[in-house]
Structure formats: structure tokens, C-alpha cells
């Protein structure tokens, strides 16, 4: 078993995303899927990786990435609930920001949700590391 990363911070991740013109964000999708599948193996589900994310995102004109994010958020929160940890980002907050608050706040809420997604995955990874003595 490998230790999952728990130190993804908002500012450094934002900087990497800007410097790589968004490619680091694609890496995060790959990493989140891989880490979630590792931590949540007991639930019998599978979070699809980057290739499926991109292909179905293209075919569905951007709808699948929204569905992927919602399923990922629910799976991470279910894992945290099963391990008696506080939940993180909620699907309702994500969708509300995506469709309403994001553009009303001139993008500031998009950054808040981006930060909360990082902290959600950090919490899942930290819980996994603690449960497995890593």
C-alpha cells in the first residue's frame, strides 16, 4: 500500500494550473479518480479515469464532466461518512455554484469550489492513510 498525498494546497495548485494552461487540472482528475478508487475500494464502485472523462465529455458536449464530479463528490462523502469523518463539499453546493453563483460572483465561487474539491480529496486520502497506518 502506498501513502496517498494529503498536502494539495489551493494556491500552489492554482499556480500549477495557470502555468500549465490547465493541464495540471487534467492531471488532478486522473489523480482524484485513482486515489478515490484506492481509498473507496470497499464500496464496489469505480470512478472513471481521465480518458473516459475527456471522451464522454466531448461526446455529451460537457455534460458528463458535471455528472462525473457529482458522482465523485458523493463517493468521497460516503467514504468519509462510513469512517465517521465530517463530510466535505456537497453536490448541491457544487451545482449551485456551477450554474448560478459562479458567474454571479465573477468566478470567485468557482475558486472556492475548486479549493473545497482539493480539501475533499485531501480528507479522503488522510482518512485512508490513517486507517491503513501509513
Residue with cell 472513471: 48
Domains of the chain, by residue range, sit at 10-131
CA distances from 49 to 12, 17, 91, 105 (A): 23, 19, 19, 31
For 68, the grid coordinates are: 462525473
Residue with cell 500552489: 12
pTM here is: 0.93
pLDDT, residue 130, reads 95
pLDDT, residue 1, reads 78
Backbone torsions φ then ψ of 119, nearest 5 degrees? -70, -30
b (16+ CB within 10 A) / e for 93-118: bbbebbeebbeeeeeebeebbbbbbb
**For every one of its 134 residues, what pLDDT tens digit does the chain have, with 9 covering 90 and above?**
799 999 999 999 999 999 999 999 999 999 999 999 999 999 999 999 999 999 999 999 999 999 999 999 999 999 999 999 999 999 999 999 999 998 899 999 999 999 999 999 999 999 999 999 98
pLDDT, residue 15, reads 97
pLDDT, residue 6, reads 96
Amino acid at each position: 500500500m502506498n501513502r496517498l498525498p494529503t498536502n494539495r494546497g489551493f494556491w500552489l495548485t492554482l499556480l500549477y494550473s495557470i502555468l500549465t494552461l490547465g493541464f495540471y487540472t487534467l492531471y488532478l482528475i486522473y489523480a482524484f479518480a485513482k486515489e478515490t478508487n484506492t481509498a473507496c475500494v470497499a464500496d464496489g464502485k469505480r470512478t472513471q479515469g481521465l480518458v473516459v472523462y475527456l471522451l464522454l465529455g466531448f461526446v455529451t458536449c460537457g455534460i458528463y464532466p458535471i455528472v462525473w464530479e457529482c458522482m465523485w463528490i458523493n463517493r468521497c462523502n460516503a467514504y468519509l461518512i462510513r469512517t465517521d469523518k465530517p463530510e466535505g463539499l456537497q453536490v448541491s453546493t457544487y451545482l449551485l455554484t456551477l450554474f448560478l453563483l459562479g458567474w454571479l460572483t465573477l468566478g470567485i465561487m468557482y475558486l472556492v469550489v475548486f479549493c473545497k474539491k482539493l480539501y475533499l480529496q485531501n480528507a479522503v486520502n488522510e482518512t485512508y492513510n490513517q486507517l491503513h497506518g501509513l
